[in-house]
Structure 1
Amino acid sequence: MDLAAAPLIDDALADFVRSEVSITVATCDDGRIPHLARGTGCRVSADQRQLTVLLAAPASAEVLADIGRNARIAVVFSLPRTHRTLQFKGTDAVITGIEASDPELAADYVDRFATGLEAFGYSGAVIRGVLHADGADLVAVRFTPTFGSLQTPGPEAGHVLRS
């Protein structure tokens, strides 16, 4: 990675990935069999070069195993009310310990995401139940996005984000 290049993530994108978006983490095993997990929050590094996605470890076992084997990751962030969608990929994903504030970050994210879906008639209680992870179950996955693209349905879908 060229450290002199600007990061793919600017202030607006950092705000977006930390908002009430749907977070889907995708990996694959060595046989290219895909695995998915639901994220429960996201942090952006101070220099905006890395993303850290929070996951509930029990529901993310296959994703975490894939990351341990090959470090490849794709994360999709999508805002249900507008369908604005971004995808970031990386090849250096690592499982890290959580920070002291991560359980609160995850709880706040889950609440905001569920509240956003309630406006469409979905049960906030069900969403909160599916995504809930207490501090003991949380795990963090950090990676450097080396590729990013707009995935919002429409004419800009597939547009590559540039540093």
Structure 2
Amino acid sequence: MTDPVLKRVAVRKYTTEKVAQNDIDKLINAFQASPCGMHQTDVMQMTVVEDEKLLSQIEQVTNNACYNAPLLFVINVKKNNEFGERDASVAAENIMVEAAELNLGSVYLMNAASVLNSAKNLEEKLGLPQNFETCVIVACGHAAEQPNDDRSNRYKVVRR
């Protein structure tokens, strides 16, 4: 399977190998290319976390919910914005599809994002303005194992 949309699976086990800076740039470009509701580009921002100390602090606060990934994309949205959560989800999918294209693993993390919002000491370290909150985190890295997940017939599809 070569199509990155079909190749993308949730990876929850990563090697310690760092992601190449060139690949991180491509993942950031995928985030930048994501659509946004009503062209409101000021309602979403992202923090790319590569620093080992900060990654460790996030793992501690989230009870290892980020699977010790060597790279996190923390997607933040303006509080009480009608498009924020949807825009963040679409942006996360862009990152995950690009990660699959780059032969990297990734996983969408909502619960870890919620926990992070209560960690006020990390908000400043993540560069989060007061009127923003973390909506989703995409953990990313080199997969330590590849899930064998047949997703060819997961949902009901009605054709008319």
TM-score with structure 1 setting the length: 0.36
As a proportion of its length, which structure holds more helix? 2
As a proportion of its length, which structure holds more strand? 1
